[in-house]
Structure 1
């Protein structure tokens, strides 16, 4: 019987609204909308008997699933699931239109140069390397049939490439939005996506 992984991006923060890069160095909290998104996700999935809830070490992920922790689900935080470090640019607004270095680095990643990084930051290869021990942990815990993993946009793209055996250069293919869900099944050898960029839980009135 396959195991099920609910892979969730954290809810909205004020930095998300302002277009400011957070990365692993900005430990922001959810804003009012983010807290509402978290409540909507719990309303839709609070009945699921999660054996374990995993988050990054950053508060915006734990806040996104706090209702599950309050309900008694076991929880582990792993820094290996933290967002990519954007180096000296964390806490600043970065856009493709305005920032040549950012544009160049992202283009390099898409072209296969996934060891590139912004000044002082991490490369996707480095993020992938710190995720691997967490992936091996998830794979090894056969008794955890259904788990919830809450993390971050860019790091989630890297993780999905690793789980599905895609090159990291494909990571832009995994779109994300605040409190979006990717639902995966794991047979013991192979991961497959069952729900892709699912936000149906956010479209319920309220």
Structure 2
């Protein structure tokens, strides 16, 4: 089997990102002007690559982030397994580790390996990982798609990277993310490896 090349990006900036408001899977926000500019810069840097397929979540901010590639007519599939974690009742509110005891408490539980924990009405990392496995199995089962572009969300990206690289989910915060950052991975048929970590050179 030839090496499968995966270009994994987080969506571009939204106004909610700027305001520190949690979006999650239940808030279908759109990119702001800065986010569209980030998407344009990524497209300019990588439009020369012959992507066999573009995968996004079902939320519009991921699809807007790769619109340049979709306009080229590349095959596209929106997969719910790539959706952001659900933050439950807290979606659409401003919560930070410094200001919100409940949120910080859940993050602390995750770091201790208690990845079944969740905010009220939301998802746990274990549940996100379970729905991502369908997507992982899908891309592994399609060797004809040798070079793919995947656009998703920050927390869900951390969970996915742990799964692909065989890390415990308690380690997910080791995978930093920024709007329109790139992780480049290779899959050899038996294992995934990271070739680029938190690459934002295309934004400068």
What range is the shorter-chain TM-score in? over 0.9
**What is the alpha-carbon distance in structure 1 between the residues aligned to residue 96 and residue 7 of structure 2?**
30
Task: Quote how far apart the aligned CAs of 1:72 are.
Answer: 1.1
For residue 155 of structure 2, what is the aligned residue in structure 1?
154
The count of corresponding residues between Structure 1 and Structure 2 is 203
With the length of structure 2 as denominator, give the TM-score of the two structures: 0.99
**What is the alpha-carbon distance in structure 2 between the residues aligned to residue 134 and residue 110 of structure 1?**
25
For residue 113 of structure 2, what is the aligned residue in structure 1?
112
For residue 131 of structure 1, what is the aligned residue in structure 2?
132
Task: Quote how far apart the aligned CAs of 1:179 are.
Answer: 0.1
Within the alignment, does 1:182 sit opposite 2:167 as a pair? no
Gaps of 5+ in 2: none
For residue 93 of structure 1, what is the aligned residue in structure 2?
94
**What is the alpha-carbon distance in structure 1 between the residues aligned to residue 202 and residue 117 of structure 2?**
36
Task: Quote how far apart the aligned CAs of 1:98 are.
Answer: 1.1
Gaps of 5+ in 1: none
For residue 84 of structure 1, what is the aligned residue in structure 2?
85
**What is the alpha-carbon distance in structure 2 between the residues aligned to residue 159 and residue 97 of structure 1?**
26
Task: Quote how far apart the aligned CAs of 1:103 are.
Answer: 0.5
With the length of structure 1 as denominator, give the TM-score of the two structures: 0.98
For residue 198 of structure 1, what is the aligned residue in structure 2?
199
Within the alignment, does 1:143 sit opposite 2:182 as a pair? no
Please list the CA deviations of residues 151-178 of structure 1 after superposition, one character each: whole Å capped at 9, or x if unmatched: 0000000000000000000000000000
Task: Quote how far apart the aligned CAs of 1:40 are.
Answer: 0.0
**What is the alpha-carbon distance in structure 1 between the residues aligned to residue 82 and residue 70 of structure 2?**
18
For residue 57 of structure 1, what is the aligned residue in structure 2?
58
Please list the CA deviations of residues 68-104 of structure 1 after superposition, one character each: whole Å capped at 9, or x if unmatched: 0000110000111000000000000001111111000
Please list the CA deviations of residues 87-143 of structure 1 after superposition, one character each: whole Å capped at 9, or x if unmatched: 000000001111111000000000000000001000000000000001000111000
> Which stretches of structure 1, 4 residues or longer, exceed 6 Å deviation after superposition?
none
**What is the alpha-carbon distance in structure 1 between the residues aligned to residue 174 and residue 19 of structure 2?**
24
Task: Quote how far apart the aligned CAs of 1:33 are.
Answer: 0.1
For residue 7 of structure 1, what is the aligned residue in structure 2?
8
